[in-house]
Amino acid sequence: MLTANNLGFSRGNHKLFENLSFSINEGELLLVSGSNGSGKTSLLRLLCGISTPDEGEILWNGAEIRDLGEDYYRVMTYLGHLGGIKDDLTAIENLRISCALAGNEIDEGQAKEALGRIGLVGREMLPAKVLSQGQRRRVALARLLVTHTKVWILDEPLTALDVTAVDMIRQLLEHNLSKGGLVVMTTHQEMEISAVTSQHLVLS
């Protein structure tokens, strides 16, 4: 269970949110929405431990995530809005490095297979700078094909994707949820996802 208790967070002198609480159980999806600047990305960065709340706590199975350290990071995958793609690296190199940084090393064959499955056949060895925005997004999302984590925290994963890719991501999300995973995501696009329970958090 991932739990947020009375979270408060500010950017500079601006309070983004306060007294924010929720819990997500196995097989559950939490959709986070709100206007630009409402704190959606900030909340996701808190949930994955990149940022620290001004008030409150975030618990994984009853323990504070910052106390758990690597024990939490081993069960969590975070994909930010920009994807962390490096222009001068190939698609394969980008995927392998991002997996290694997350503690999930894969070989070239595994990377090539994942990129092929997500629609990048023939582009695996191209530098990211020549890929379209949608193709760059697919490189980042290919991590979901090779990760073995339970908690997925995704910031606008559907940005720049075509209908086929959106459907593939939906299937990946549903597969993770069906295995008892948890998904927290922001998105501006409508997508029906089968889950044990779906929650919708609106930040104002």
**204 pLDDT tier (thresholds 50, 70, 90):** confident
Domain ranges within the chain, ordered by starting residue: 1-75+152-203, 82-148
Q: What is the 3-state secondary structure (H, E, C) of 95-160?
A: HHHHHHHCCCCCCHHHHHHHHHHCCCCCCCCCEHHHCCHHHHHHHHHCHHHHCCCCEEEEECCCCC
Which amino acid makes up residue 13?
N
Architecture of domain 1-75+152-203 in CATH? Answer: 3-Layer(aba) Sandwich (3.40)
Residue 83 has pLDDT above 80, yes or no: no
Which pTM was predicted? Answer: 0.91
DSSP β-bridge partners for residue 9 = 17
φ/ψ (deg, to 5) at 25: -100, 175
- Predicted confidence (pLDDT) per residue in 102-155, tens digit: 888 999 999 999 999 999 999 999 999 999 998 999 999 999 999 889 999 999
User: Given a cut of 80, is residue 198 above it in pLDDT?
Assistant: yes
